[in-house]
């Protein structure tokens, strides 16, 4: 076969650009095919209608996330902390309760600790869980909602725990795999408060784009084709043929597919991907939520708010002061229930905690509705861990799956995307060395 390039990478998010950097630095011809008009995928730092640049997607990082932390060190990027929160509001059976932010976390402590008690025992080395043990297979049948139902909790504890996991999964706890919760906690040495800190505390001083741009600057030798949708991949004995919507067919020695799991079935792959991963893609993983930035009139204080998974918006966190107003970020577990561009609709949701809030403007990107993502941060549903882990580790094919959805460690995070991009690229380099 005549190759146009050595490695074709479908998707230019963190996994794709990291893999490209590794490959071109070894002199391997690499082509990224990206459907959007920009790199970054589910991270997107952009100007907003709220009066400052904000991150529409992936934002927070932490030093317990080793792959992203190595990149932060390598490029010397500055982080800032989200503000320390003083007040919290939480809803229990329609009634608003309030206290310090620490008080709300203390109320969660016993139930979170009990729910995650097995994390370190079951996953002593959390990157190393495949092939799944019989115990992990059994745990993977259980949803977060079922696990919560097993616990002896009062209504307040139940509402808080359910709400916290709807936030963590960006989805419905009834469709959220308990093993995913255990994986997060095991990566945080069994400490759920550290886990929570890792998820929502430290962010890039100049936006997530600062890391993306730094990696991309080391990958300029790659042929990057934006605005190009991949529609099909054919694997033969000696290569791959990648078909794009403009009719171009690219031939390469390997293809790395980094598209989110929920839209994996939009690319026709021949022969089909094995291990049941296509069925998982058709079923869809758990995340289906929304993130929205809100400018609220005046200084509303450094507050957080939480409600259970039935709420349209179920978590809110103060982030920045802006010209006398406040910028807050809100999350909800289900896309499609609220017009994210309608300030009055968002205000109505926020007033369920705080009737004093007056929304000035809103800005969001609906990743779940976006046909190039179909999900927010990937979180598996019950019964999916085996198929996804197996497919992600299959090195017998010329087509490889990479990305945050397939990471061994911090799956769902920027860290996981980098990890997966690095590992996939290194594996292919090793294969090329033995083939040459």
Ligand X SMILES: Cc1cc2nc3c(=O)[nH]c(=O)nc-3n(C[C@H](O)[C@H](O)[C@H](O)COP(=O)(O)OP(=O)(O)OC[C@H]3O[C@@H](n4cnc5c(N)ncnc54)[C@H](O)[C@@H]3O)c2cc1C
**Other beta carbons within 10 Å of 70:** 14
Cα angle value 254/258/260 (rounded, 5°): 150
Residues 224-253 that bind ligand X (CB under 6 A): 229-230
CB of 427 closer than 8 Å to CB of 435: no
Q: How far apart are CA 184 and CA 179, in angstroms?
A: 9
Nearest-CA neighbor of 52 among 163, 206, 192? 206
Nearest-CA neighbor of 99 among 291, 303, 249? 303
Stretch that binds ligand X, among 52-60, 183-191, 215-223, 354-362 (CB under 6 A): 52-60
Residues 359-418 that bind ligand X (CB under 6 A): 367, 372-373, 376-377, 403-404, 412-415, 417
Report whether 7 belongs to an annotated binding site.
Answer: no
Residues 6 or more apart whose Cβ sits within 8 Å of residue 402: 15, 16, 19, 256, 257, 258, 392, 420, 421, 423, 424
Supply the minimum distance, in Å, between the C-beta of residue 418 and ligand X: 8
Region at 290 (left for phi over 0; alpha for psi -120 to 50; beta for the rest): beta
Cα torsion 23, 219, 367, 210: sign: positive
Supply the minimum distance, in Å, between the C-beta of residue 13 and ligand X: 2
Q: What is the DSSP string of 159-182?
A: HHHHHHHHHHHTS-GGGSBHHHHH
Which stretches within 201-243 are classed as H helix?
A: 209-217
Supply the minimum distance, in Å, between the C-beta of residue 260 and ligand X: 5
Would you say 118 or 370 has its CB closer to ligand X? 370
Would you say 94 or 371 has its CB closer to ligand X? 371
Helix (H) or strand (E) holding 427: helix 414-435
Supply the minimum distance, in Å, between the C-beta of residue 371 and ligand X: 8
DSSP code for 56 = S
Residue at shortest CB range from ligand X? 41
> Is position 333 an interface residue for ligand X (rule: CB under 6 A)?
no
Supply the minimum distance, in Å, between the C-beta of residue 94 and ligand X: 27
Q: Which member of 60, 204, 293, 315 binds ligand X (CB under 6 A)?
A: 60
Q: How far apart are CA 412 and CA 286, in angstroms?
A: 11
Q: Which member of 258, 317, 326, 335 binds ligand X (CB under 6 A)?
A: 258
Report whether 35 belongs to an annotated binding site.
Answer: yes
Q: Which member of 8, 267, 286, 327 binds ligand X (CB under 6 A)?
A: 267
CB of 260 closer than 8 Å to CB of 378: yes
Determine the size of the site formed for ligand X (CB under 6 A).
40
Q: Which member of 58, 126, 163, 252 binds ligand X (CB under 6 A)?
A: 58
Binding string, residues 1-20; x marks residues near ligand X by CB under 6 A? ---------xxxxxxx----
> Is position 57 an interface residue for ligand X (rule: CB under 6 A)?
yes
> Is position 165 an interface residue for ligand X (rule: CB under 6 A)?
no
Q: Which member of 5, 48, 59, 309 binds ligand X (CB under 6 A)?
A: 59
Would you say 230 or 350 has its CB closer to ligand X? 230
Nearest-CA neighbor of 201 among 106, 351, 304? 304
Binding string, residues 288-327; x marks residues near ligand X by CB under 6 A? ---x------------------------------------
Supply the minimum distance, in Å, between the C-beta of residue 149 and ligand X: 28
Could you write out the three-class secondary structure of 114-131? Answer: HHCCCHHHHCCCCCCCCC
Strand partners for 92: 95
Q: What is the DSSP string of 139-150?
A: HTT-BHHHHHHH
Supply the minimum distance, in Å, between the C-beta of residue 91 and ligand X: 23
Supply the minimum distance, in Å, between the C-beta of residue 86 and ligand X: 22
Q: How far apart are CA 407 and CA 409, in angstroms?
A: 6
Supply the minimum distance, in Å, between the C-beta of residue 411 and ligand X: 8
Would you say 284 or 403 has its CB closer to ligand X? 403
Report whether 230 belongs to an annotated binding site.
Answer: yes
Binding string, residues 30-49; x marks residues near ligand X by CB under 6 A? ---xxxx----xxx------
Query: What residue numbers does the annotated binding site for FAD cover?
Result: 34-35, 230
Please report, as ranges, the residues that interact with ligand X according to CB under 6 A: 10-16, 33-36, 41-43, 57-61, 229-230, 258-260, 263, 266-267, 291, 367, 372-373, 376-377, 403-404, 412-415, 417
Q: Which residues are annotated as a binding site for substrate?
A: 331
Q: Which residues belong to the annotated binding site?
A: 34-35, 230, 331
């Amino acid at each position: 076969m005549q190759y146009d390039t050595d490695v074709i990478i479908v998707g230019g998010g963190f996994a794709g650009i990291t893999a490209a950097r590794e490959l071109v630095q070894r002199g391997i011809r690499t082509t990224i095919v990206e459907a959007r008009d920009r790199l970054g995928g589910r991270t997107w730092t952009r100007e907003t209608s709220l009066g400052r640049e904000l991150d529409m997607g992936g934002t927070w990082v932490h030093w317990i996330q080793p792959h992203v932390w190595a990149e932060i060190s390598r490029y010397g990027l500055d982080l800032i902390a989200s503000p320390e929160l003083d007040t919290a509001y939480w809803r229990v059976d329609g009634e608003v309760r309030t206290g310090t932010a620490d008080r709300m976390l203390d109320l969660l402590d016993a139930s979170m600790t009990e729910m995650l008690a097995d994390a370190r025992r079951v996953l002593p080395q959390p990157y190393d869980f495949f092939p799944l043990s019989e115990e992990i297979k059994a745990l993977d049948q259980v949803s977060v909602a079922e696990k919560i139902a097993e616990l002896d909790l009062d209504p307040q504890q139940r509402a808080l725990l359910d709400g916290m996991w709807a936030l963590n999964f960006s989805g419905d706890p009834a469709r959220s795999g308990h093993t995913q919760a255990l994986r997060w906690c095991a990566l945080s040495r069994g400490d759920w408060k550290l886990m929570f800190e890792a998820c929502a505390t430290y962010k890039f001083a100049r936006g997530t784009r600062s890391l993306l741009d730094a990696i991309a600057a080391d990958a300029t030798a790659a042929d990057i084709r934006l605005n190009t949708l991949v529609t099909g991949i054919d694997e033969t004995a000696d290569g791959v043929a990648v078909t794009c919507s403009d009719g171009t067919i690219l031939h390469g020695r390997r293809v790395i597919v980094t598209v989110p799991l929920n839209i994996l079935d939009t690319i026709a792959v021949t022969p089909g991907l094995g291990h049941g991963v296509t069925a998982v893609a058709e079923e869809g993983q758990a995340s289906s939520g929304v993130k929205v930035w809100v400018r609220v009139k005046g200084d509303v204080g450094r507050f957080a708010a939480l409600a259970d998974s039935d709420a349209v918006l179920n978590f809110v966190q103060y982030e920045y002061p802006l010209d006398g107003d406040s910028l807050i970020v809100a999350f909800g577990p289900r896309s499609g229930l609220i017009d994210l561009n309608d300030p009055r609709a968002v205000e109505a949701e926020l007033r369920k905690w705080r009737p004093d809030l007056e929304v000035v403007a809103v800005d969001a990107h609906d990743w779940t509705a976006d046909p190039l993502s179909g999900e927010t941060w990937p979180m598996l549903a019950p019964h999916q861990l085996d198929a996804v882990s197996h497919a992600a580790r299959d090195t017998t094919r010329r087509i490889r799956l990479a990305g945050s959805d397939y990471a061994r460690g911090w799956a769902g995070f920027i860290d996981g995307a980098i990890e997966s991009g690095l590992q996939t690229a290194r594996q292919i380099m090793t294969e090329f060395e033995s083939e040459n």
